[in-house]
């Protein structure tokens, strides 16, 4: 089955998990078949959403995050059995966010302790580990999108998949993914309209005298 597409292989192994075969070998084969896709997702989450974690003192690498995610999935799938490719990659994305959020929180706590030790007042670090109020609000709005639109937006804009890859994971056509992504953008634009920067004030034409 060397030429079997990743999505087909993942679904076949998820189906096997519902049978009487001992789950551990199936889970390990499943993760082995999905590892390249998981690596792409880890890289997208890390470098787009948490770039500060890739810098000193953590210097987190994609493969390190991937190892933690795989270990978390092995433990989780002793109890949780995703039924579809969509559910499986959703579970993986959840574990990525948990690990990255935990590391970001630990880094911020360490930075605060060091600042106090130096006699200073701790200030929020910049560049990706501490979320601003506006960033938190945007994440809340994304999480509040309808399920179909949220999944399409997360797969493409957060996890870095192409539209054909997202369509394969979701089991729909590329045009359906495009429609869902467009609806997600419209909903986000409506709910976050107040965060748009004010348009610049147009310059008066030459020769016009501003009213006082």
Q: Residue with structure tokens 């990659």? A: 89
Encoded tokens for 6: 């990743």
Question: What pLDDT is attached to residue 78?
Answer: 86
Domain assignments of the chain as residue spans, ordered by start: 6-195
Cα distances from 102 to residues 9, 39, 40, 96, 138, in angstroms, run: 31, 19, 20, 10, 20
What's the rounded Cα separation, in Å, for the pair 142 and 150? 6
Instruction: Convert the pLDDT of each residue in 180-195 to its tens digit.
Output: 999 998 988 888 877 6
Q: Where are the alpha helices (DSSP H) in 77-206?
A: 85-117, 133-143, 147-153, 163-170, 174-191
pTM: 0.66
What's the rounded Cα separation, in Å, for the pair 189 and 184? 8
Instruction: Convert the pLDDT of each residue in 137-185 to its tens digit.
Output: 777 788 888 989 988 888 887 766 788 988 888 889 999 999 999 999 8
């Amino acid at each position: 089955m060397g030429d079997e597409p990743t999505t087909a292989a993942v679904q076949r192994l998820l189906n096997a998990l519902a049978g009487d075969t001992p789950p551990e070998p199936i889970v390990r084969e499943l993760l082995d078949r999905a590892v390249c896709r998981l690596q792409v997702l880890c890289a997208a989450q890390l470098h787009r959403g948490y770039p500060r974690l890739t810098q000193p003192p953590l210097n987190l690498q994609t493969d390190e995050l991937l190892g933690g995610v795989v270990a978390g999935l092995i433990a989780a799938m002793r109890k949780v059995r995703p039924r579809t490719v969509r559910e499986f990659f959703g579970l993986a994305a959840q574990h990525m966010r948990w690990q990255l959020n935990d590391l970001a929180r630990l880094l911020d706590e360490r930075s605060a302790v060091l600042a106090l030790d130096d006699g200073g007042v701790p200030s929020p670090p910049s560049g990706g580990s501490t979320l601003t109020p506006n960033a938190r609000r945007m994440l809340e709005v994304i999480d509040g999108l309808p399920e179909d639109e949220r999944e399409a937006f997360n797969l493409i804009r957060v996890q870095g998949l192409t539209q054909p890859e997202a369509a394969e994971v979701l089991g729909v056509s590329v045009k359906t993914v495009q429609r869902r992504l467009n609806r997600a953008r419209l909903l986000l634009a409506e709910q976050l309209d107040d965060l748009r920067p004010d348009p610049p004030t147009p310059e008066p034409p030459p020769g016009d005298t501003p009213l006082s």
